[in-house]
Amino acid sequence: MKLRVKRIDKSLPLPVYHTDGSVGFDILCREDTLVKSKSIALIPGNLVIETPKGYMLLLALRSSTPRKFGLIKPHGIGIVDQDYCGDEDEVKVQVYNFTDNDVTIKRGERIAQGVFVRIDRFDWEEAESMGKSRGGFGSTG
């Protein structure tokens, strides 16, 4: 499947899947970005992506990002809607610096991954009862 993508800075490469088994493509930092200690920042990802109908774009940090930079996603994951694809709708990666030091993410640094996930939409049917409860919260074992 092909999809449309626009690079803000054309000197940075298009996204690639690095191995045959990769499900995510790397998102690179477009410009040096300072993330102050104990603060949230948006890292520009250099891409405007036209997500195909029936899919969403899920953003997750690379597994090395917390260890390497001391950054986490303050809300766990990022979801990019299908209609976020205008000329100025650059993918941005929201991060939280949990360290006591400011961190600078350098231009071209691989910071996050994008994964396309098939989605469905549903109509709601309200019920007065849902049946017997399983009980508890969390795992069953």
**Which pLDDT tens digit goes with each residue over 30-70?**
999 999 999 999 999 999 999 999 999 999 999 999 999 99
Who's near 53: CB < 8 A, 6+ residues apart?
A: 82
Q: Kindly compute the dihedral angle of the four CA atoms of residues 74, 80, 81, 83, in this order, to the nearest 10 degrees.
A: 130
- Say which CATH class 5-15+25-118 falls into: mainly beta
The residues spanned by each domain of the chain are: 5-15+25-118
**Which pLDDT tens digit goes with each residue over 84-113?**
999 999 999 999 999 999 999 999 999 999
pTM summary value: 0.87
